Amino acid sequence: MVELSNCSRCGKVFVKSLRDVCPDCYKEEEAAFKKVYEFLKQQKNREATLIEVVEATGVEETLITKFIKENRLRTSMFPKLGYPCERCGSMISTGKLCTNCSSELKSELNHINQIHKVAERNKDTKPKENIYYTLDKHRR
């Protein structure tokens, strides 16, 4: 089924296939990829950071990040190449969060789950019926 979509880069309407960008923007992305790859392929540039690649090639940081996330630029071949964690901004090479942020979120979720379990357990206990006892003080 043919689907019309707007290009995520330029906003132009195009027939969407496998990519989220129009053919013109795809050609531009491929040219940018070639430029970045040619720069990184040189022995002296293999340990360049993301900022150094952006400055040397003029390609946008978001586009280089996209190449890394799509595994077109492998961090095993270029060890210092990474992108910022979506929570704290430290450089990572896979996923969306660094290990510190990931472990923090997991511990917070575990804490919230424990709170919910305690609340559920307290809700399940039956409340004690109101029973009043009187003492007969004047009984002989």
Domain ranges across the chain? 23-116
126 phi/psi in degrees, rounded to 5: -75, 140
Q: What does the pLDDT look like over 30-50, one tens digit per residue?
A: 999 999 999 998 989 888 888
CB 57 within 8 Å of CB 35: yes
* Mean pLDDT score across all residues of the chain: 87
**Reported pTM:** 0.69
Could you tell me which residues are beta bridge partners of residue 92? Answer: 83
